[in-house]
Amino acid sequence: MESDSANSPTTPDSAPQPTGAEASRQLQQHQEVRDSANQLGPSRGFAWFSLWSAFMAASYIGVFLLAFSAGIGTAGNSDPGKFSQTSLLVVPLLAFTTMTTGTRERFGIRRALPRVVWIPLVLAFFAMTVLSGLSVFDVPYSPWLIPLVALAVFVPLAAPAIAQLIRVPRSRTPARRSSEQLSTPVRWNTVIMGAVAGLLISFGTIPIVSSLLMIAALAGIAFTYALNESSWVLPRVGFEWGWMQWTAFGITTSTLFAFAMLAALPQSPSLAAALAAGIAVFLVMLVASALPAPRDARS
């Protein structure tokens, strides 16, 4: 009886067997699930984002110190317009930091930076404060200290990302990624960020205008912390943005950094050049707001 039951055509043996390609794909998916369960670390997508973030932070430190050491706000050569241009660099940095919260949520990252990363960062920011103070009191120092401080910020932030990229190989069967348009609040926030950046570049050297722009931008960033559950907050922007939107933001921030450095030179860019750059930056962000972005949770 048992033999007849085992050979019955109603048993699961009659089910279609997977092909070699399907079996290989299932094995690869099982490996990826096991790697995730073993908590091998963040995905390669987040590792690349962390590397870009490290470059962003180090660039901010280097640009700020270079512009500040060029006589901005010093006792011997005070120029309110140039000082305001340099101080506006904090706007894109705060916006980027706020959006990173949403990006970490998108990639499922909950861990804070380890102590081995925080200690050199604190020392680097302390050195940045010291060098800024020397510039304020018109005390000269070696210009080689600026790239050293920037490297002291870049290395501890970039090292874990580089190690993750080396440790986790690229998947042979990458998951299919679907792209969708940005939500309406994120699309409008992208356009607003482009408008603010364009105005900062165009009128950053005019003290009154730049001060009003900085106050409005900082108030808008602070307002996002009060609307935790709203879809209009900046963390939601970081959650939805794809690589094309982040590239546009990188172009915008790089342009703002460049004009902050040029403003420190004896021959600052003309108002026409600043207006042209501001309009170009706004158009870049406007186009980015209309582009689709991937919706996968882990890239």
> pLDDT tens digit string along 223-277?
877 776 788 889 999 999 999 999 999 999 999 998 888 877 777 788 899 999 9
Domains in the chain, number: 1
Which pTM was predicted? 0.77
Does some domain include residue 3? no
Does some domain include residue 28? no
Does some domain include residue 258? yes
Closest CA to 271 of 205, 194, 183, 214: 205
Res. 38: pLDDT tops 50: no
- Kindly report, residue by residue over 169-212, the tens digit of the pLDDT: 776 555 556 788 999 999 999 999 999 999 999 987 787 888 88
Does some domain include residue 5? no
Residue 168 lies in domain: 41-106+114-172+179-294
Higher-scoring residue by pLDDT: 167, 191? 191
Does some domain include residue 24? no
Q: What are phi and psi of 293, to 5 degrees?
A: -140, 150
Does some domain include residue 220? yes
Does some domain include residue 19? no
Q: What is the mean pLDDT of residues 46-57?
A: 91
Give whichever of 19-28, 161-170, 191-200 has the largest mean pLDDT: 191-200
Does some domain include residue 148? yes
Res. 156: pLDDT tops 60: yes
Res. 151: pLDDT tops 90: yes
Q: What is the mean pLDDT of residues 55-62?
A: 91
